[in-house]
Amino acid sequence: MPTRTDPLIHPLLRGRWSSRSFDPTYELGEDELEQLLEAARWAPSAGNSQPWAFLVLKRGEPAHERFVQMLSRGNAPWVPNASVVLVSLFKSGDDEDPSFTYSDYAEYDLGQSVAHLTVQAGSMGLGVHQFAGFDHDAVAAEFGVPASWTVTTGIAVGRYAGSVDREWDGRERVRNPLSTFVFTNRFGEPRWS
C-alpha cells in the first residue's frame, strides 16, 4: 500500500500503485473493459492524432493463453492472474514507409492515453500494473502487428487481492524530490530547494 505519497494530490493519483497481487477469480465485464478504453480514447494527443491501439487479452480466452507464453520469467507468475492484459501500441510509421515518423509525440501520447485508462480504472476500484517484460517481437508476429506500429507495454488490469505478496506490496513508494527535476531559469536550477 502507498504510505507517504503527497497528501495534497487527488485521491485517484495518490491511491494508485502497481501491485502484483491480482485476484485470479475476478472477472472483468465487457462493460467495464469498454469504460476503460473509452477513457484511453478521450486522452489528448498532438493534433488529435490518436496514435494508439490496444490488443485485448482477457483471461480465459485463447488470445490470453497465447500471450502468457511470451511473458518474461519474472512476470509469468503474476500477470496471468489479472482479469485482462492490454498490450499497448503506438503508430510509429507509415504503412507504405515504416521508416517515416508518424508523429514525434506518438509514444508520449500513448503514455497519456494509458494514464487516463489507469485513472479511470482507479475510479472503478480496479488496479493497473504496467510491465515491459515480455517478448515484444513474438507478440508482434503472433498478433499480426504491422511494421508501422510499435508494441510497447503490457497493462495488467483487475482487482487487487491485497492479502498476498506482501513483500512486494509492502514496499514504500519512493520518488525523487522535486528539486531534482523541476527547474527554473535554467536546466538544473531547482525551482524549489
Is residue 155 at the binding interface for a copy of itself, with CB under 8 A as the rule? no
DSSP 125: T
The smaller minimum CB distance to a copy of itself, of residues 41 and 93, is found at 41
Residue from 10, 72, 74, 168 touching a copy of itself (CB under 8 A): that is 10
**Phi/psi class of residue 162: alpha, beta or left (left: φ > 0; alpha: ψ in -120 to 50)?**
left
Stretch that binds a copy of itself, among 74-82, 92-100, 101-109, 156-164 (CB under 8 A): 101-109
185 touches 111 (CB < 8 A): no
Residue from 79, 83, 153, 156 touching a copy of itself (CB under 8 A): that is 153
- Minimum CB–partner distance for residue 84 and a copy of itself (Å): 10
Task: Categorise residue 85: left if φ over 0, alpha if ψ from -120 to 50, beta otherwise.
Answer: beta
Q: Please tell me the distance from the alpha carbon of residue 70 to that of residue 137, in angstroms, as a whole number.
A: 10
Q: Is 92 in the site for a copy of itself (CB under 8 A)?
A: no
Check binding of 116 to a copy of itself (CB under 8 A).
yes
CA distances from 22 to 65, 127, 172 (A): 17, 8, 19
What is the Cα–Cα distance from 23 to 173, expressed in whole angstroms? 22
Q: Which of 23, 107, 135, 165 binds a copy of itself (CB under 8 A)?
A: 107
3-state secondary structure of 81: helix
Nearer to a copy of itself, 76 or 130 (CB): 130
Residues in 17-56 that interact with a copy of itself by CB under 8 A: 18, 30, 33-35, 37-39, 41-44, 46, 48, 50, 52-56
Nearest to 2 by CA among 157, 160, 154, 137: 160
192 binds a copy of itself (CB under 8 A): yes
Residues from 156 through 185 that contact a copy of itself (CB under 8 A): 173-176, 178, 181-185
